[in-house]
């Protein structure tokens, strides 16, 4: 199933274009509205995607929920990943990245276990006993604060499809051009700030950037 991607030409390859995640959510919501994106629910990816998704959901008057996923990382570097785990238990791994980190089987399985525990902890904290929404016949809009390698978003897309969504859209304020194009081969992608180059960091699109704690995410979610 092929897709398309939409960005803002005036923001291509620019750094620090968003003041913070709230501003990024506003810009992303405007892009979605201008392009006529149609969705029934926003599913934000914790942690950084939650404040972005909350703004998008409010601006587009859509319900907000969560797509809890976590990348699988080596123990010494939590910024790079060689796969991802979704809330439904599914795991996706890229053996090329695992080999590039020279990881043995024991380390790989330890990384998977850490990711599964993180997902389970966040599901308990943010969802509690609340069941995952019934996505049958719904168009789901997945939102994160950026798209680097795309590993976590890919596993989220697959999980949402397994949950029965009739259509899946992806929206991120910033993304690496190669990853966005690869994702757009499968789903419709909205990315305000498209960037290329060998080095890509989601944080470089923001003037103010911090990692969010679970308490901060819970505060954003408290109204829902």
pLDDT, tens digit (0-9, with 9 covering 90-100), for 175-214: 999 999 999 999 999 999 999 988 899 999 999 999 999 9
- The percentage of the chain sitting over the pLDDT mark of 90, rounded to a whole number, equals 76
Q: What is the pLDDT of residue 82?
A: 81
pLDDT, tens digit (0-9, with 9 covering 90-100), for 53-72: 999 999 999 999 999 999 89
Contact 165, 145 (CB under 8 A): no
pLDDT tops 80 at residue 113 = yes
Please state, in angstroms and rounded to a whole number, the distance separating the CA atoms of residues 118 and 23: 28
The domain defined by 5-69+136-221 folds into Rossmann fold (3.40.50)
Least confident residue range of 1-10, 50-59, 111-120: 1-10
Please state, in angstroms and rounded to a whole number, the distance separating the CA atoms of residues 148 and 197: 12
Q: What is the pLDDT of residue 119?
A: 96
Contact 205, 110 (CB under 8 A): no
Please state, in angstroms and rounded to a whole number, the distance separating the CA atoms of residues 175 and 127: 28
pLDDT, tens digit (0-9, with 9 covering 90-100), for 12-62: 999 999 999 999 999 999 999 999 999 999 999 999 999 999 999 999 999
Name residues whose C-beta falls within 8 Å of residue 44's C-beta, 6 or more positions apart in sequence. Answer: 50, 52, 53, 54, 57, 64, 65, 66, 67, 143, 144
The confidence band for 92, taking pLDDT boundaries of 50, 70 and 90, is confident
pLDDT, tens digit (0-9, with 9 covering 90-100), for 120-146: 999 999 998 889 999 999 999 999 999
The confidence band for 1, taking pLDDT boundaries of 50, 70 and 90, is very low
């Amino acid at each position: 199933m092929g897709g398309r991607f939409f960005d803002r030409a005036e923001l291509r390859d620019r750094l620090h274009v968003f003041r913070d995640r709230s501003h990024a959510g506003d810009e992303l919501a405007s892009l979605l509205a201008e392009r006529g994106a149609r969705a029934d629910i926003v599913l934000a990816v914790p942690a950084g995607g939650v404040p972005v998704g909350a703004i998008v959901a409010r601006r587009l008057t859509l319900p907000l929920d969560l797509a809890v996923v976590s990348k699988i990382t080596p123990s010494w570097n939590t910024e790079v990943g060689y796969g991802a785990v979704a809330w439904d238990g599914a795991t996706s791994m890229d053996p090329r990245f695992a080999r590039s980190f020279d990881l043995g089987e024991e380390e790989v399985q330890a990384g998977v276990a850490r990711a599964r525990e993180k997902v389970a902890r966040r599901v308990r904290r943010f969802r509690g006993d609340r069941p995952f929404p019934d996505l049958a016949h719904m168009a789901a809009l997945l939102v994160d604060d950026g798209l680097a390698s795309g590993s976590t978003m890919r596993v989220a897309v697959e999980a949402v499809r397994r949950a029965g969504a009739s259509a899946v859209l992806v929206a991120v304020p910033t993304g690496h051009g190669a990853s966005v194009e690869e994702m757009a081969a499968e789903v419709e992608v909205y990315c305000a700030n498209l960037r290329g180059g060998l080095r890509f960091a989601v944080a470089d699109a923001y003037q103010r950037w911090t990692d969010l704690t679970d308490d901060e995410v819970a505060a954003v979610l408290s109204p829902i």
